[in-house]
Amino acid sequence: MTFTRRFTAAFAVAVAALVITAVPGQAATLRWAAQNDILTLDPHSQNHATTHSLLAHSYEGLVRYTKDFQVEPSLATSWQQISPTQWRFNLRKGVKFHDGSPFTADDVVFSYGRIMQPQGTNQIYVFGVKEVKKIDDYTVDMILSGPNPVLLHQFVNFRIMSKIWSVKNKAENVQDYVAREESFASRNANGTGPYIIKLWEPDKRIVMTANPAWWDKLIGNATDVIYTPIKADATRVSALLAGDVDLVTDLPTQDVTRLRSDPKIKVLDGFENRTIFIGMDQHNPELLYSNVKGKNPFKDVRVRKALNLAVDRDAIKRVTMRGLSQPAAIMIAPSVHGYGSDIDKVAPVDVEGAKKLLAEAGYPNGFEFGLDCPNNRYVNDEEICQALVGMWARAGLKVKLNAQPMASFIAKIQKFDHSTYMLGWGVATFDALFSLQSLLRTKTTGADGSFNLGRVSDPKLDALIDAAKTETDPKKRDDLLRDALVLTRDNYYYVPLHHQMRPWAMKKNVTTVYKADDAPESRYARVD
């Protein structure tokens, strides 16, 4: 009797469990892995794609991208241009931050003031905004210094923080990442967005859960998300194959073919809008980490050209990237506005030519310099750097490679403590100006030159970039962008390597939307 009853009960529980797992549309946990961790939880501190992508789960902007990268309302419901330099935004009513504080115009004004602080690196997302005026609790006016054709695209990554929460927790100031500062906001997140970040254990995991009070609805069913940074390639892929994670958003190139043929795995292909390049210090009077004393060889265009000529981009594509890249001559990827395949023509590798140029520049025996590299950020970053060391060695240059994790790498190069470095630039606004302004405009404390870490400074280039900022005639603007890209290419201010492709892999039962801007969004994810 007891036995039967117990058996029946157990049977009922088992059936119930079966039913629960079988019903589609049920809440699910998405376990997501990628190479690197976020740098901070402070949304205004570091302009770093992984950080932005994860923080976008919690912090929202006034607008956001659709799947097709059209701008759509988010915290602002509508906007109109009162004049070319004045935009009015109507804010969404009834939105609450995760801590319960209400979202109002004060938060927009506060966030603008905060993101503009010089120790952050995200000023570019509000570039051209001179002032944010509160009209009433749910209306703000953006006063611009000039017309800005890409304002809305910029605002996608301008994330709104709660003024009340920031003041209460003394987090009004942006974390100074380079000085290794920590603040309440760099350790805690409080946005209005679809997910509440419950826990961040650096280099271990980020745990998020769906925000029940969100103003919008999740498209998928991933109510819980666990993000795990796994640096080692083989471990990351094994975790996917073993079923320990559901989604991997950066695949080691060597495993793509095999994963494609695996019946349990689905691979989403995609061109990321990211260009990988090498920057060179062109500012210091004496090059760091070098045996050249008293001068800086990279100030000489012939040396920069030699570095460019010695790189065998096809070999990197074929061997290191296994076809998953497009060799680059210009600093933006094909999906970015301003790109032209006619100007993105890569010169063939020419080691002899490079040697000749170096000799002409006064370095017949080459010289020494350092190469700083991340080892957990871009696809095959360290391997590419190792290959570059070899390619440059053939031209007589002795390169000392220093590859380290992104978190320490980025702090080092932002202090200009380098002679050359590898960086990749994805374009959040899908417009060339974003790259030109961040990477090539003469450095200031604000958005101009925020990642111009070799401190390139060319008045002609500055004039083109500054003109493009406010040019509203599309044709003229396109010409300005093009001229700036060509000028950069022909002066060899950088060594562009390739536009990176970045397939994602997931278990067969996972569906999500591929994002070319390296900003996966869990609200799209379904786990069945």
Where on the chain is the footprint of another protein (CB under 8 A)?
232-234, 237-238, 252, 254-255, 257-258, 312, 315-316, 318-320, 383, 386-387, 389-391, 393-394, 396, 399, 401-402, 404
Nearer to another protein, 128 or 252 (CB): 252
Per-residue exposure over 334-364, b if at least 16 CB sit within 10 Å of its own CB, e if not: ebbbbbbeeebebeebbbebbbbbbeebebe
**Shortest distance (Å) from residue 212 CB to another protein:** 40
Nearer to another protein, 90 or 402 (CB): 402
Nearer to another protein, 19 or 393 (CB): 393
175-178: long-range pairs with CB below 8 Å, 24+: 175/40, 175/42, 175/45, 175/119, 176/119, 177/39, 177/40, 177/45, 177/46, 177/119, 177/121, 177/410, 177/411, 177/414, 178/119, 178/411, 178/414, 178/415
Cβ–Cβ contacts within 10 Å for residue 474, how many? 10
* Runs of H (alpha helix) within 23-138: 49-55, 105-115
Nearer to another protein, 247 or 384 (CB): 384
**Shortest distance (Å) from residue 377 CB to another protein:** 16
The CA-CA-CA angle for residues 390, 518, 386, to 5°, reads: 10
**Shortest distance (Å) from residue 234 CB to another protein:** 5
CA dist 247 and 495 (Å) reads 33
On whether the CB atoms of residues 492 and 458 are closer than 8 A, the answer is no
Nearer to another protein, 413 or 440 (CB): 413
Nearer to another protein, 187 or 398 (CB): 398
On whether the CB atoms of residues 330 and 488 are closer than 8 A, the answer is yes
**Shortest distance (Å) from residue 393 CB to another protein:** 3
**Shortest distance (Å) from residue 319 CB to another protein:** 4
Nearer to another protein, 419 or 512 (CB): 419
Nearer to another protein, 88 or 394 (CB): 394
- Give the β-pairing of 368-374 and 420-426: parallel
Cβ–Cβ contacts within 10 Å for residue 419, how many? 24
**Shortest distance (Å) from residue 387 CB to another protein:** 5
**Shortest distance (Å) from residue 46 CB to another protein:** 21
Nearer to another protein, 114 or 313 (CB): 313
Cβ–Cβ contacts within 10 Å for residue 366, how many? 20
CA dist 465 and 487 (Å) reads 11
**Shortest distance (Å) from residue 254 CB to another protein:** 4
**Shortest distance (Å) from residue 35 CB to another protein:** 12
Nearer to another protein, 188 or 404 (CB): 404
Instruction: Report DSSP letters for 280-341, one per residue.
Output: E--S-SS-TTSS--SS-GGGSHHHHHHHHHT--HHHIIIIISTT-EEE-SSSS-TTSBT--T
Cα distances from 277 to residues 308, 458, 498, 500, in angstroms, run 10, 19, 7, 10
**Shortest distance (Å) from residue 279 CB to another protein:** 20
Radius of gyration of the chain (CA): 25
Nearer to another protein, 295 or 394 (CB): 394
**Shortest distance (Å) from residue 256 CB to another protein:** 9
On whether the CB atoms of residues 22 and 528 are closer than 8 A, the answer is no
For the CA atoms of 441, 446, 447, 449, the dihedral, rounded to the nearest 10 degrees, stands at 30
